[in-house]
Amino acid sequence: MMSYGPVIDPDLCTHCYQCVDMCPMDVFQAESKSRDIPSTTYVDECWYCGVCVTVCPSQPCAINLVHPLNMRLALKKVK
Bridge partners (DSSP) of residue 66 are 5
Q: Examine residue 41 and state whether it is found in any structural domain, yes or no.
A: yes
Q: Are 38 and 29 in contact (CB under 8 A)?
A: yes
| CATH number of the domain within which 45 lies | 3.30.70.20
33 Cβ contact partners less than 8 Å away, ≥ 6 residues apart: none
Return the HEC string of 27-51: CEECCCCCCCCCEECCHHHCCCCCH
Q: Examine residue 79 and state whether it is found in any structural domain, yes or no.
A: no
Q: Examine residue 40 and state whether it is found in any structural domain, yes or no.
A: yes
pLDDT digits (tens, 9 = 90+) for 22-75: 999 999 998 766 778 898 888 889 999 999 999 999 999 999 999 888 777 765
Q: Examine residue 67 and state whether it is found in any structural domain, yes or no.
A: yes
Which pLDDT does position 77 carry in this prediction?
63
Q: Examine residue 62 and state whether it is found in any structural domain, yes or no.
A: yes
Domain count, the chain: 1
